Structures are given as structure tokens and as C-alpha cells.
Structure 1
Amino acid sequence: MLVSPVMEVPTDNPFTEEQARFYFRDVVLGIEYLHYHKIIHRDIKPSNLLLGDDGHVKIADFGVSNEFEGTDAMLSGTAGTPAFMAPEMMTEYEQSFSGKALDVWAMGVTLYCFIFGKCPFYDEYIVSLHNKIKNKPVEPLISSELKELINRMLDKNPLTRITIPEIKLHMWVTENGSNPLPLEEEHCTAVEVTEEEVQNSVKLIPSLSTVILVKSMLRKRSFSNPFDCLGRRAERSMSAPGGLLTYVKTKEECF
């Protein structure tokens, strides 16, 4: 059962480093699982990370996700929540960028939120927000290992930004190697979706079309939108949670 978002942002009660590490490790394994199955989420943020009754994080809302072929998705255009968008998305001309690197950036913003209870970049005006994301450095006053991890995730150059395999081995994530994460092949095998899981997948139902959409996505294990006429949301508010909550496997099953 999905309970609530792992955190509402902003908040005056951020997590301790131990709490943040526990939830972030779930996110890392979840994103690794999606990337392994060639899916880019594109909207990772605390309100799309739901706590199950087992205490672990489930990733929700695949409304702007992308499937890809090959080793990575080369994307263009804006999608997701502005305060969690990567700087390479904010150019005046059309270009393509790594989907995996976008998810890593959003994970970095999310980890910052876990520790500080707010986004590292914020402005009421979208142009000013874009300028801060592209140009403002991040200087969190935290432990040196966590600071180094956040800075590498929020590297404004996607070519040198830390990757998921590197995050899994980072000293802060693994507690100096004493608590390693499972290998990719140990938790990324495909799983079957039962009819009961399909029936319980939707917690907020905006329309009949959404019900049909989610059921189709779960049965096919595909996160592309079969309703071409619906289109995708190009932009969302900075703080509003997504309108579609979908079931994602627990850590014991995959992540």
C-alpha cells in the first residue's frame, strides 16, 4: 500500500543524513531498474517518491517518461518540474541531451531537498529560475562526502556528471563500503504484473482514460502513452505532485 510522498517541499523538518541515505538508496536502485529496462523517468522529485507500508520508497508518476533503444535516450525539449530540470535543457536553440543524465540531476536536487527541506534553486519567475540552475553554484554546508556527491550530481556539464553506477559505489551511499548496494544483475530482472496489482495501481483517478492508460502501461510494462491525442505535459508547477500515482515494485522484488 502506498502511504504518502516521502517529503513535502518546502519543509522545516528535513531528514537526517541517515534518513536521507536510506531513502536515497531506494531511489538509486529504482532509477537503475528503470534505466536497465530503457525507461527515463524525467520527473524525479520528492512528491513522486511514495512511501509504502514497508517503509521503502516507490517511484510514481510516469506521465512524462520516455522509452529508448540503445544505451541512452537522446532527448530534446522540456518536460517535468522546472525546479528539478537540468541546465542542459535550458538553451535557446534545439539540441539533444542524455536522458540518464537528466534523471541523475533530478536525483541530486531531490537529495538536496532531503537534507535541506528545499530546492537548491528557486525563483518565482521561470527565466530567473533557469538562470540560477544554469549559473548558480551549490555550496551545501554538510559532511564532505555528501557535499561531494551532491556537487557531482549537480554538475552543470552532463558529460562529466556522475552516473548511476558511480553513485552506487560512492562512499556516502555505501557508508564507506560497509553497506554496498546489490549488483545490477541481482535486482533488475523483469517481473510479472498481476491483475491484483493492476487493480490496486491507481490511487488518484482523474478520468476513465487515465485508468485505461495505467492498466495498459502495467500490463505491457511500457511507460509510453498509447493515447497519442492526449499529448504530454510540457511543464508543471514547481511544487505540485503529479496527478497520476502508479504502483512500482518494492525493493525486495526489484527496488
Structure 2
Amino acid sequence: MAWSYFRQILQALQFIHGKDIIHRDLKSDNIFIDDSGTVKIGDFGLALKMDVSSTTNSLPVGAYLYRAPEMKKGDPTYKPTNKVDMYALGLILFQLFCPRQCSERKMLKLRDSPEQVCEKYKVDETAKHLILELLQTDPLKRPSPADLLRRLDGLEREGALCFDKIGQAADTKVQNIPTENTSSSDHRPRELESCPIQTGSYNY
């Protein structure tokens, strides 16, 4: 199930980036799952068209924890690219496969030492390699959604993705997600203690 969620996020990002849109605030709180298991990306309040340039658009935005390194340098000539979304995706992928709750302290360590943190928490090997690629400090070296979708297709054909094993773990993580039948007060997107993915009805 975790791989299914990841694939759907990639498909959403491929669509968004194909429209020359940068989300700029991609984080687990802005990813939603409806009661059919469909993943959707929400909150486009900070989204930006790639062909729009101004000094305002070069300012760091979005959740600090998920900001790509190039967004934090304070370079007045910096222009955001869709690679900032891919960096944030690396952090989200870690959250999907980390066997323990992802604290802010753990996520900060992941940014500084991704390989060591993945090994410490025994993150799935296939996921670990993708996380390391996505968290590269050089944005040009981060893969695109299309690159990763092709990789996933190849791994699936080779039988390298253990959907049963991962799905079982993911089922445990998402069992407390409220469904469409919950009351309005319980249904609003909110952070869940056991799972970074939220529920909602947002479309990408």
C-alpha cells in the first residue's frame, strides 16, 4: 500500500509539473486519502507557475522542515524549480516507510544524514535508494516524477517491490484514518499520530 500511495503522489506531481506548476508546500499534511484509497494533493496556496519571475517568488516559502536546501540560501537571484517538490517528496517517502513515528528531530537528522538515518531505522532498501536520490543537495540530480514512475514500473516487472509485506505494514499505519462517514468536525484534514497521510477530498 505504501508503494501505491507513492505511485499516486508521483502521478499527481507529474500532472502538476506538466502544467509548469510548482507546489512549493508539499508535505504530509497536504496529502490526502479518500475512503477509496485514492491519494490527492491539496493546498495550492503557495503554488507558482514556473514562467513567473519576481523577487517575491524567490523568497523561501512553505513548511521549513520540507524546504529544499536551495530555498534556504537567501540568494536574491534564486528562481524556484519543480525540483523543490521532489526534495519534499523524499521526506514524505521516508515517512511512508519509517517503522516509527517521524518526529521533527528525526526529520531534521534525515536532512543532514539521510543514509545513516535510513539505515538506523531499517527503511526498505528500495525506498532508501529513492530517498537518497530525492534528498540530493544538487537539485539537478534529483529525479523527476516520470523518471521515478519508469523505475517503479521496472521494479514491479522484476518483482522487486514486495507489495504484500509493505502493504501489511501500511495497513497498520492507516487503520485510524477517518472515512467519509465521520462527522464534519472529525473529517477535516488533521495530523494523525500514526500516519503522515491525511484524509480529504482535494483534487490535483
Contact 1:78 1:89 in 2 (8 A): yes
Which of 51, 55, 60 is the equivalent residue of 2:33?
51
Question: Shift of residue 112 of structure 1?
Answer: 0.7
Structure 1: any 5+ residue segments left out of the alignment?
A: 1-18, 124-128, 180-202, 205-240, 250-255
Q: Secondary structure at the match of 1:63?
A: coil
Q: 1:79 to 1:21 in 2, by over 3 A?
A: same
Larger radius of gyration: 1
% identical equivalent positions = 26
Which of 59, 70, 93 is the equivalent residue of 1:88?
70
Q: 1:142 to 1:33 in 2, by over 3 A?
A: same
Q: Secondary structure at the match of 2:82?
A: helix
Q: Secondary structure at the match of 1:93?
A: coil
Structure 1 position 156 matched with structure 2 position 140: no
Deviation >4 Å, runs of 4+: none
Question: Shift of residue 122 of structure 1?
Answer: 3.2
2:113 aligns to what?
A: 136
Q: TM-score, structure 2 length as denominator?
A: 0.66
Counting matched residue pairs gives 156
Letter in 2 for 1:94: P
1:247 aligns to what?
A: 202
CA distance in 1, matches of 2:58, 2:74: 12
Question: Shift of residue 94 of structure 1?
Answer: 2.2
2:102 aligns to what?
A: 118
Structure 2: any 5+ residue segments left out of the alignment?
A: 159-186, 189-195
Q: Point out the structure with the larger helix share.
A: 2
2:155 aligns to what?
A: 176
Which of 33, 37, 46 is the equivalent residue of 2:15?
33
Per-residue CA distance 1:71-126 (angstroms, 9 max, x = gap): xxxx521111111111111114323144210000111111111111416x638xxx
Contact 1:83 1:122 in 2 (8 A): no
Q: Secondary structure at the match of 2:40?
A: strand
Name whichever of 90-99 and 43-52 sits farther off.
90-99
